[in-house]
Structure 1
Amino acid sequence: MTPTRCAVIGVGYLGKFHAQKYAAFSHADLIAVADTDAEAAARVGADCDCRAVTDYRELLGEVDAVSIAVPTTLHYQVARDFLERGTHVLVEKPITSTVAEAAELNRIAREHDAILQVGHLERFNAALLDLAGQRCAPLFIESHRLAPFKPRATDVNVVLDLMIHDIDIILDMVRSPVKAVAASGAKVLSEALDIANARIEFENGCVANVTSSRVSLKSERKMRIFQKNAYVSVDFQNRGLSIHRLGEREMFPGIPEVTTETSIFEEGDALKTEIAAFLEAITNGGPVIVSGEDGQRALETAIRITEQVRQGAHVLGEDG
């Protein structure tokens, strides 16, 4: 099998890991990395034994697939240029800055028969992958995604930075149109929202209460899912999954027993799994786990939440 010719555009904190994964796959040929920072490009290129360029346009038409890990504001331009050449694209989340840009990328991908995958990495968490194989019909979902402040992530607000992970998972799990959104948030250490809470109501009756913060003292990534006769807890950070169900026996007369199944999964490599799925979709026509359409829906809901905060004047420290 001829290896897929690949490149990574943007080799900052996350992009360099993309490059390392491609370089390690026998069925991928990492042709080059690109970054406007010549020193960073050269360093990663040397580490991965590939060409380094400062202008990604030099690679148009030379590769079969790319990972794009540039700032969000550049996602549309870079992804568009490659998709128009029929190049398969894995773009980091959020897919773009606007829904219109996301819709255009999806149109171009369809027109040129190119795969467009979005880097919602949490979908490849071992605990969630295990849950995906089981029946899930949520009635209520509660999620908390908390992280300490990191200056490098402030090019977007906390909704687009962190909450969008849970939004994507919840939309995929519930599979029903969003009916209503209520949200509030605060700017704490940056000029964008640093903490936010959203209540998302779906047309099928499910409700999700989602909280994200990038100004916490500790890290936490948990989701709790309530459905008829069952309660599921997913700990993304520690790769833990607990499922509590009503049993067939009685714990006491008239009180049914509750059975518990708890699993702790070995530490995996979610990024490696994500890129492997991308390459599988390219070479063997496997399913696109997080499609461009998925990325667009998650972005649309994230922007709706952000606008709800602004329109409701619920941003701490702002008037009107």
Structure 2
Amino acid sequence: MNKIRVAVVGVGHLGRFHAEKFAQIPQVELVGIVDVVKERADEVARRCHTRPFYDFREVLPLVDAVSVVVPTVHHFNVTKAALEAGCHAFVEKPLASTPQEARQLVKLAEELGLILQVGHIERFNPAIKKLLAEVRDPLFIEAQRVSRFSSRCLDVDVILDLMIHDLDLILAITSSPVEELQAAGAPVVTDKIDLASVRLRFKDGIVANLTASRIALKPARSFRVYQPGAYLAADTLESTFVKVALEEGRFTEASPPLPEKFPGADPLREELEIFIEAIKSGHTPPVSGEDGFEALELAFRIKKEIERQKDLFLAREGSCLPDLRRHCVSSS
């Protein structure tokens, strides 16, 4: 089969990495990159030895697939236009701004017989892949994902920015419906939720506790699973995996020696290569549009519960939350 002709739409902080990875994949012809900032488009195109475009509509007739790495608010319009033009689409998470938009994209891709893959990159982190392969009848899940404040990604709250990664991982472990949801969160330095704590109880009995913050002193990414006879832990920041298991009735370190490390891994390239393989084979990719929809739908249930809690607080206190965004100072 001929090379898959690809364009990257949006080459900001993350999009330029997409362009670089696609330029390295032998099965891909990087036809062009698109960005509304001309200087940025020109620079990335020059570095990746391809052609710059400044309106994504111009490149659609020239390619088989697009990688959508624009701000979340534009995901729906760009992806919908690409699908309608007959292009397969890789869309960075979250799939869309709302579950309703995401559902429309999933339905459209299915009707047109096109691949729609969502960029939940942690599925391709080798530490997570090892953890998922070891999961057996999980009882309890803990996820912590915190980062220092950054001026990037302020178009969405911490749930859609960070927590949605762990929601996707949990939904990859269980397909059971959520029976109980408790959530709390608050805006601290922006006008959106900057930190959140969530407890989920699923119909199959699994309980999951999640914490996400984008105003921590230092970053941390941990995902832990407790199951009969074993404890599994992945650090996705360091890409390490730990398993502690019962051996002869006692807790001992599992072999190989802990922690297991995965040097040289490239999750972004792997997920983009799998996208290309899905186009060639016609098979559903590991993180499908439906997966992206389900993670987004659960994220919005959490957002709704946090808003409900905030409304109860305001009604009780007879006051409003302060607007702290004006006073936020970011240091790097």
Distance 1:114 1:135 in 2: 32
Task: State which of 286, 305, 313 in structure 1 corresponds to 2:310.
Answer: 313
Q: Secondary structure at the match of 2:136?
A: coil
Contact kept, 8 Å, 2:163 with 2:210, in 1: the verdict is yes
Do residues 147 (structure 1) and 147 (structure 2) align? yes
CA displacement, residues 175-225 of structure 1 (integer Å, 9 cap, x when unaligned): 211112110012111111111001111111111000000000111000111
**2:73 equivalent in structure 1:** 73
Q: CA offsets per residue over residues 155-174 of structure 1, 9 Å max, x none?
A: 10000000000000011112
1:273 is matched with: 270
Amino acid corresponding to residue 173 of structure 1 in structure 2: I
Matches within 5 A, 1:288-307: 288-307=285-304
- Hey, what does 1:16 align to over in structure 2? 16
What is the CA–CA distance in structure 2 between the aligned matches of 1:53 and 1:300, rounded to whole Å? 33
Whole-angstrom distance in 2 between the partners of 1:175 and 1:304: 16
CA 1:17–1:178 in structure 2 vs 1: closer, same or farther (change >3 Å)?
same
1:188-203 equivalences in 2 (<5 Å): 188-203=188-203
Distance in 1 of aligned mates of 2:306 and 2:122:
25
Match of 1:244, SS state, is strand
Deviations 1:270-312 (CA, angstroms, capped at 9, x unpaired)? 1111101111111134540110000000001111111100101
Matches within 5 A, 1:80-119: 80-119=80-119
Map 1:159-178 to 2 at 5 A: 159-178=159-178
Whichever residue aligns with residue 277 of structure 1, its letter is I
Q: Distance between the aligned counterparts of 1:285 and 1:43, measured in 2?
A: 34
Conserved? CA contact 1:187–1:315, under 8 Å = no
- Aligned AA (2:43): R
- CA 1:285 to 1:133, structure 2 compared with 1: closer, same or farther past 3 Å? farther
Q: Is the 2:123–2:129 Cα contact (8 Å) retained in structure 1?
A: yes
Aligned partner of residue 61 in structure 1, secondary structure: helix
Q: Is the 8 A contact 2:115 2:282 kept in 1?
A: no
| 75-84 or 169-178: bigger deviation | 169-178
1: distance between equivalents of 2:215 and 2:103? Answer: 32
Q: Deviations over 1:22-46 (max 9, x none)?
A: 1111110000111111111111111
Normalising by structure 1, report the TM-score: 0.94
- Whole-angstrom distance in 1 between the partners of 2:157 and 2:136: 30
Q: CA deviation at 1:257?
A: 1.3
Structure 1 CA distance for aligned equivalents of residues 174 and 250 of structure 2: 27
Structure 1: tracts of 5 or more residues without a match: 250-255
Q: How does 1:116-265 map to 2 (within 5 A)?
A: 116-247=116-247, 249=248, 256-261=249-254, 262=258, 263-265=260-262
Percent identical: 42
Tell me the SS of whatever aligns to 2:268.
helix
Q: State the 4+ residue runs in structure 1 displaced beyond 2 angstroms.
A: 131-137, 284-287, 314-320
User: Alpha-carbon deviation of 1:260?
Assistant: 1.8
Equivalent-residue separation in structure 2 for 1:137 and 1:193 (angstroms) = 33
Aligned to 1:253: none
Provide the C-alpha distance between the structure 1 equivalents of 2:183 and 2:202, rounded to a whole number of angstroms.
15
Partner Cα separation in structure 1 for residue 130 and residue 234 of structure 2: 10
Distance 2:24 2:222 in 1: 31
Q: How many residues of Structure 1 are paired with residues of Structure 2 in the alignment?
A: 313
- SS where residue 290 of structure 1 aligns? coil
Structure richer in strand, relative to its length: 1
Cα distance in 2 for partners of 1:287, 1:242 equals 30
TM-score normalised by the chain length of structure 2: 0.91
CA distance 1:65–1:315, change in 2 (3 Å): farther
Match of residue 52 from structure 1:
52
User: Secondary structure, in 3 states, of the residue corresponding to 2:131?
Assistant: helix
1:252 maps to none
- Mark the CA change 1:164 to 1:316 in structure 2 (over 3 Å): closer, same or farther: farther
Structure 2 unmatched runs, 5+ = 322-332
Partner of 2:37: 37
Q: Is the 8 A contact 2:131 2:233 kept in 1?
A: no
Preserved CA contact (<8 Å) 2:21 2:269: yes
**Structure 1: distance between partners of 2:102 and 2:136:** 28
Give the superposition deviation at 1:131.
2.3
